[in-house]
Structure 1
Amino acid sequence: MNPIHIIDKYYPVENELKHILLTHSHSVADKALLIADHHPELVLDKEFLYEAAMLHDLGIFLTDADGIYCFGDKPYICHGYLGADLMREEGYPRHALVCERHTGAGLSLEEIIAQGLPVPHREMVPVSLEEQVICFADKFYSKTRLDKEKSVEKARRSLERYGDAGLQRFDCWCEQFL
């Protein structure tokens, strides 16, 4: 599977949004692969890591985030499950799970309900090691400062709005993946 072909299908025009998506996704993929290289004991599927990291934000164009040139009609927090729906339609259910489960440090059903988030009421916490690595790697890159990798502390602070459970997951990943 070639993730660029799928990206080209949903982002057919060379514009700022596609540039942001590709740059961000490459950064996340590179960090995920670096983690895999530094932790051979985890026996991570590197081909899948690359593909899924490139596609994890596929659904952003369906959201309303004009700061990154997204002019859809859904709140940005919905991009994960929206991208997952697209990946399921493409026939890639495993990649869809990465899309769905990467928001924040994953979102539990309890967190979704407690925070009144506008996403489906189901568990959206990374389960497989590959899902966890991509979710973790994603926390180090924003789509507004494409040239900068965040420090661990800045990445951690970006998760505070999602609650303590997400921070605890992130802290565990720091111990496991760094």
Structure 2
Amino acid sequence: MDALSIINKYYSENNDCKDILITHSKSVADKAIQIANNHPELNLDKDFLYEAAMLHDIGIIFTNASGIYCFGESPYICHGILGAEILRKEGYPKHALVCERHTGAGITMQNIIDNNLPIPHRDMLPLSLEEQVICFADKFFSKTKLQNEKTVEKARKSLLKFGDDGIERFDRWCREFL
């Protein structure tokens, strides 16, 4: 599979949204591979890490996030579910799980219910080590300050809105992956 060919299928035009997606995803993929290289004992699937990291945000095009040139109809919080739908349709169910489980440090069903989020009522927590590494790597890069890697403290701060359990997962990942 070539992640770029799937991106090109859904982002046919060269525009700011596509540039942001590719730049952000490449940064996340590079960090995920760096983690894998630094932790050979984890036996991470580097090919999957790279592909899934490149595709984890493919659903942003269908969201309304004008700050990153996305002019779809869905709220941004839906980008993971929308991306998962794309990748399941393309025949990549494992990659789809990364899409739907990477938001925040994963989102519990209780957090979805408590915050009345417009996504399915189920736990969306990264389970496999690869899912966890991509979710973790993603926290270090925004789509508005491309290629500027956040410090651990800034990445941690960005998770505050997702609740204490997300902070606890992130802190555990810091101990395991850094």
Q: Same fold (TM over 0.5)?
A: yes
Q: How does 1:120-135 map to 2 (within 5 A)?
A: 120-135=120-135
SS in 2 for 1:120: coil
Give per-residue Cα distances to partners, 1:13-44, cap 9 Å, x unaligned. Answer: 01111100000000000000000000000000
CA contact (8 A) 2:25 2:53 kept: yes
Shift in Å, 1:147? 2.8
Structure 2 residue 75 is matched with structure 1 residue 79: no
Unaligned runs of 5+ in 1: none
* Mapped partners of 1:41, 1:114: distance in 2: 38
Q: Deviations over 1:24-70 (max 9, x none)?
A: 00000000000000000000000000000000000000000000000
Partner in structure 2 of residue 58 of structure 1: 58
Q: Which runs of 4+ in 1 moved over 6 A?
A: none
Distance, in Å, in 2 between the alignment partners of 1:77 and 1:145 is 19
- Structure 2, unpaired ranges of 5+: none
Residue identity matched to 1:138: D
Q: Which residue of 2 aligns with 1:32?
A: 32
Residue 4 of structure 1 corresponds to which residue in structure 2? Answer: 4
Question: Could you say what secondary structure the match of 1:74 adopts?
Answer: coil
Identity %: 67
Q: Which moved more, 1:108-117 or 1:20-29?
A: 108-117
Amino acid at match of 1:102: H
* Partners of 1:82 and 1:121 in 2: CA distance: 15
- What is the TM-score of this pair, normalised by structure 2? 0.99
Q: Specify the code of the residue in structure 1 equivalent to 2:81.
A: Y
| Deviation for aligned residue 1:123 | 1.2
Distance 1:25 1:86 in 2: 16
Q: How many equivalent pairs are there?
A: 178
The two structures, once aligned, show a CA RMSD in angstroms of: 0.5
The TM-score, its normalising length taken from structure 1, stands at: 0.99
> Which digits, 9 at most, give the CA deviation of each residue in 1:76-135, with x for residues without a partner?
010001100110000000000000000000001111111111111111000000000000
